[in-house]
Amino acid sequence: MAPRFRLSLPILIGCIIAATALLLAAGGYDVRAAGLALVRGSFGSWYAFGSGTLVRATPLVLTGLSVAIAFRAGVFNIGAEGQFLAGAAAATAVALSLGHADRLVALTLPLAAGCAAGAIWAGIAAVLRARFNVLEVISTLLLNFVAAFAISYLVRGPLQEPTHVYPQTATIPVAAQLPRLGAATRLHLGSLIALSCALLAWWIMRATAAGFRVRAVGANPNAAAIAGRINVQRVTMRAFLVSGALAGLAGAIEVAGVTFALYENISPGYGYTAIAVALLARLDPAGVIVTGVLFGALDAGAAAMQRDANVPSVVVMVVEATIILALLAADRIRIQPRASAHPTIEAAS
Amino acid sequence: MSLSSQPAASEFFSATIRTATPLLLAALGEVVVERAGVINIGLEGVVLAGSFGALIGATHGGVLSAYVVAALCGLATAALFALFVLWTSADQIITGTAITLLALGLTGTLYRAIYGATGALLTLSTEQPLPIPGLSRIPWLGAALFAQPPVTYLAYALIPIVWWWMYRTHAGLALRAVGESPQAAAAAGVRPRRVRLLALMFGGVLGGIAGGMLVVAQAGTFAEGMSSGRGFVAIAIVVLGRWHPVGVAIAALVFGAASALQFLLQALGLALPYQLFLALPYLLTLAGLAGLAGRVLAPAALARPDEELA
């Protein structure tokens, strides 16, 4: 085993900020103005922090959890994006069909539908892997595209707003909209739900038998099956479903808390950013809270950068990718891939 | 039925080839990569880098320079992937995802930096079809198969070449050995890391050309994220084609035909949502992957980190 060394997080992030500044300078942008806009848009004021950073961090924490739990269990779910979309669509459909429901029902039912839809969407990949040995990397990616086409159909077909002009749904009833946390910002109840989910997942992974089984299967499925008598298939399937449900919940909360309607580009790639969120947190659910807020700040700041300094916000993707690559190089993130596809035990490695 | 009319059928076959060719190029590269035991999810990024490279090349030179720059950009992207996967034995899936993100971000940023946010009206050199005398006049299929840009003929030619190289040469045998058991290959005197590096570079060049083709031979312009999942689909096609060059070619054609179905069915006047046709190739791919259950033999060392290699 090669020696492990850890790069301290501040140094890492410093290097990446420097590299990004260099890229922007090379592109002929005003780096100072861009930097100021980045800070102003993310941490510059309570309004920016609440309405920008934390509102964007909410789906990132949930999708980040989705990825972290899947990866921990050795499940390569890169389909958080599709599961997010499935959750958003289901939540919208349920919220729109509620009529005059009780407030509690109107709030919880769409979120539950989002969880279920996300779990089902991930469940397709889970069944494909368990029954047909299809690599979940490929199936979840393909399902992301199918989900995007399905949304495109829904917002132009059965769920289109009544006037049939815009490719989006009608606004969901007020009863189904998540309450704001205070009047000063756009921060909503969903952020607290995400926080609770992260803490719950942290506790489960750390202190319960179920969490131990997930970690054991992820670390070495053969050892877990032989020495631990763990039903690897069942643990894997559950990890898939929980992972999908969390991403689906993220989509539902985005609709119920932020957009109040469904449209095509409802996700600016939360499901992909989630991979960076989870990896930077070293797949630790509690850490996901921190990294989720960090990437939320980055997203919010980048939006301000585009608005005020005319810097393309896609530069955030470069930062995300660089963080993942730097972590790979420095930390040697290792995840046991696809145990079920390779049942042979690696000899004395 | 519109299939009875030659123009509709010809349009269907043309659309099939048009969709299939970039996928075929990228997948022929990836099949070599995967037979060496590496799965490059970053192929999506490689293709996109190729598209951007073609844009740069085509604005400063002709079609040839567009393809050269596209191939180089694809190569550089694949080399970055190789650096992480082969020298830090980083996880292949995560590295590939990061490479794709990086390509999306970098091409987007550079595109806006160089050409402005809206993408100024670009005039590019485009690749014109080169009908093959005689063959292109075959009824029904002739125009679709043999009145194509030259890069399409390159893709056709590569199918037997890759097959021959993979199954009839020592180098091809070494490649497959590395994909099955790097340790055994190393014991036999093959250097697994070098084989994998060369395979990845070949895959990068083909992926880059595939991306370049989208710009130069098809769209005539560049758009952010214009690879739109073709790299991912190419990886699925490799599995669907059972890691065999001829199988890959058939799988690419089937995917292309499924995409082209929308022209036929629209001509029939069926009131089905068009998104269904857009999603159909992806659904068929999933069904095809499931249908291969139990009969598929992936390279045994696929996606396994090779830190044990010298």
Residues 201 to 240 of A: which have CB under 8 A from any B CB? none
* Residue A5 confidence (pLDDT) above 60: no
Name every residue whose Cβ is closer than 8 Å to that of residue A17 and which is 6 or more positions away in sequence.
Answer: none
What is the mean pLDDT of the segment spanning A100-117? Answer: 92
> B84, A138: Cβ pair inside 8 Å?
no
From B66-75, B98-107, B281-290, the region with the lowest mean pLDDT: B281-290
Kindly report the average pLDDT of chain B as a whole number. 87
User: CB of B177 within 8 A of CB of B34?
Assistant: no
Indicate the domain borders of chain B: 2-117+137-291
Q: In which element (H, E) is residue B147 found?
A: strand B147-148
Give the pLDDT of residue B91.
85
Proportion of chain A above pLDDT 70, given as a percent: 92
Proportion of chain B above pLDDT 90, given as a percent: 50
Which residue in the set A141, A321, A344 is minimally distant from B105, CB to CB?
A: A321
**Distance of alpha carbon B99 from alpha carbon A24, whole angstroms:** 19
- What digits encode the pLDDT tens for the residues A174-221? 999 999 988 888 899 999 999 999 999 999 999 999 999 999 998 888
Residues 179 to 208 of A: which have CB under 8 A from any B CB? none
- What digits encode the pLDDT tens for the residues A124-173? 999 999 988 888 988 999 999 999 999 999 999 899 998 888 999 999 99
Sign of the Cα pseudo-torsion (B205, B211, B214, B216, in order): negative
SS3 category, B130: strand
From A169-173, A327-331, B100-104, B128-132, the region with the lowest mean pLDDT: A327-331
Q: What is the CA radius of gyration of chain A?
A: 21
* Residue A3 confidence (pLDDT) above 50: no
From A110-119, A217-226, A256-265, the region with the lowest mean pLDDT: A217-226
Closest of A107, A110, A139, A103 to residue A122, by C-alpha: A139
User: CB of A221 within 8 A of CB of A233?
Assistant: no
Q: Which residues of B touch A332 (CB under 8 A)?
A: 88-90
- What digits encode the pLDDT tens for the residues B146-191? 878 889 999 999 999 999 999 999 999 999 999 998 888 999 889 9
Min CA distance, B88 vs chain A (Å)? Answer: 6
The torsion angle over the Cα atoms of residues A213, A219, A224 and A227, rounded to 10 degrees, is: -120
Name every residue whose Cβ is closer than 8 Å to that of residue A247 and which is 6 or more positions away in sequence.
Answer: A62, A63, A66, A79, A80, A81, A83, A84, A87, A118, A122, A271, A274
Residue B268, amino acid: L
* Residue B117 confidence (pLDDT) above 90: no
Please provide the CATH number assigned to the domain covering B2-117+137-291.
Answer: 1.10.3470
Q: Which residues of B touch A342 (CB under 8 A)?
A: 300, 304
* More confident position, A13 or B216: B216
The torsion angle over the Cα atoms of residues A115, A116, A118 and A119, rounded to 10 degrees, is: 110
What domains can be seen in chain A, in order of their start residue? Answer: 9-333 (1.10.3470)
**Distance of alpha carbon A75 from alpha carbon A55, whole angstroms:** 28
* More confident position, B5 or B108: B108
